[in-house]
């Protein structure tokens, strides 16, 4: 009964977290459409950072232009894998960082998927002109930050044996002393 309640709390956290982050992403994109589309770039820090509207029909750096169905299929596969992993992660304090990373990563993938399905492209608007970095959006920030956090966790926080839960059903084999 306690495991079922804890699983419910973790699922509620995930759903609410994803909803908030996706809403923030979609809201900032709607502001970009409203105030930046068809306008000159809004320079916030000259020579460093500006807001510039872009309809991105590809991936990062303009790769795979107009391959919307490929992106939709790959995102659907990624989301299914992320949900599968999230449900199997032990519901303990030790694995809380991975739960948070999963929520942020899924939010980024969903934010851009919504654009691709609804618009046929992704709305981008942040531009670091100092380093001529590709124009990006909030969902991209979620994906990149959560990816780096995941790499840090895998390289420096967790050991191989910390992932022994992989074969279990919904992460129920966690140590008792590590439970919240």
Catalytic sites, residue numbers: 124, 140
**59: CB partners within 8 A, 6+ apart:** 71
**CB 18, CB 110: distance < 8 Å:** yes
CA-based nearest residue to 123, from 57, 48, 44, 174: 57
Rounded Cα–Cα distance for residues 122 and 119 (Å)? 7
Rounded Cα–Cα distance for residues 7 and 77 (Å)? 23
């Amino acid at each position: 009964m306690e495991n079922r309640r804890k699983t419910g709390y973790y699922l509620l956290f995930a759903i609410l977290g994803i909803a908030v982050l996706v809403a923030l992403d979609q809201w900032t994109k709607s502001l970009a459409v409203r105030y930046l589309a068809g306008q000159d770039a809004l320079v916030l820090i000259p020579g460093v950072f500006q807001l510039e509207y872009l309809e991105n029909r590809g991936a990062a750096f303009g790769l795979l232009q107009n391959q919307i169905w490929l992106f939709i299929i790959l995102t659907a596969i990624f989301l299914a894998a992320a949900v599968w992993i999230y449900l199997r992660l032990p519901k303990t304090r030790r694995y809380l960082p991975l739960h948070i990373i999963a929520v942020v990563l899924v939010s980024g993938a969903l934010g851009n998927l919504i654009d691709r399905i609804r618009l046929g492209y992704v709305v981008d608007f942040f531009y670091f002109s100092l380093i001529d970095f590709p124009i990006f959006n909030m969902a991209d920030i979620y994906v990149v930050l959560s990816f780096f956090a995941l790499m840090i966790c895998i390289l420096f926080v967790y050991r191989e044996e910390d992932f022994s839960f992989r074969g279990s059903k919904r992460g129920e084999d966690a140590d008792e002393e590590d439970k919240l």
